[in-house]
Structure 1
Amino acid sequence: MTRLALHSRLIPGTEDAYEVEHARVWPELITVMNQAGIHDWTIWRSGRDLFHLVECDDYEAAVAQLANDPVDQRWQQHMSQYVESFAQNPDGLAGQSLRHVWTMSEQTG
């Protein structure tokens, strides 16, 4: 299983509305995300900055599968009114994941 972090930024003034949208994400979206191999997705917010932790089988494969899914396409279109952009990282999975620096549980001795 892969665990990775993403960073996105909200359009100014949409912070509260974004949180309302995520109070209960569409159940059909969760279904297609699970079918794509995404097991969990957590989002934290600091001001306009969003930090995502994604746990999945294969993020690049999941992104490719979801790109052709009508439910995910509808969700992405809907959320585009709130999300300004995702940070790009040419070295990251699917060009988005943040560079991993350290994990306490992975440090030995």
Structure 2
Amino acid sequence: MRVALHTKVRADRIEAYEAAHREVPEELTAAIRAGGVTSWTIWRSGTDLFHLLDCADYAQLLASLEKLPVNIAWQARMAELLDVVHDYSADGAEAGLPVVWEL
């Protein structure tokens, strides 16, 4: 399944956000893959961040990551950089952007 998400980076933290993503912990990327993600891309336009994930089951992915220590640490780091964060709770599975049109 494809999931599109929208988050926002703080205007004064763009450089730190991009730097953080050049060094995502390997333990976290391994857990994301183990959770069924085959790809995850993030684009930035100003402070808007758009994520596109391909995964087996988004709700299951969130459940597998929510209490994982490496993800908790990563999310704490991201909370310092973002105005709108990625929601890893059960409610977060409903946070995907609705599809308006496809070709």
Compared with structure 1, are the counterparts of its residues 87 and 99 closer, same or farther at alpha carbon in structure 2 (3 Å cutoff)?
farther
Q: Distance in 2 between matches of 1:87 and 1:61?
A: 15
Compared with structure 1, are the counterparts of its residues 93 and 83 closer, same or farther at alpha carbon in structure 2 (3 Å cutoff)?
closer
| Matched position secondary structure for 1:100 | coil
Radius of gyration: which is bigger? 1
Deviation at 1:65, TM superposition (A): 1.2
Which stretches in structure 2 are left out of the alignment for 5+ residues?
none
Q: Distance in 2 between matches of 1:29 and 1:39?
A: 14
Deviation at 1:11, TM superposition (A): 1.6
- What is residue 97 of structure 1 aligned with on the other side? 96
Q: CA RMSD in A?
A: 1.9
- What is residue 84 of structure 2 aligned with on the other side? 85
Check conservation: 2:3, 2:53, Cα contact below 8 A.
yes
Could you say which structure has the higher helix fraction? 2
Opposite residue 60 of structure 1, the aligned amino acid is A
- Given the two structures, how large is their TM-score scaled by the length of structure 1? 0.83
1:35 matches 2:34: yes
- What is residue 24 of structure 2 aligned with on the other side? 25
| Matched position secondary structure for 2:11 | coil
| Matched position secondary structure for 2:7 | strand
Q: Distance in 2 between matches of 1:19 and 1:3?
A: 23
Check conservation: 2:37, 2:54, Cα contact below 8 A.
yes
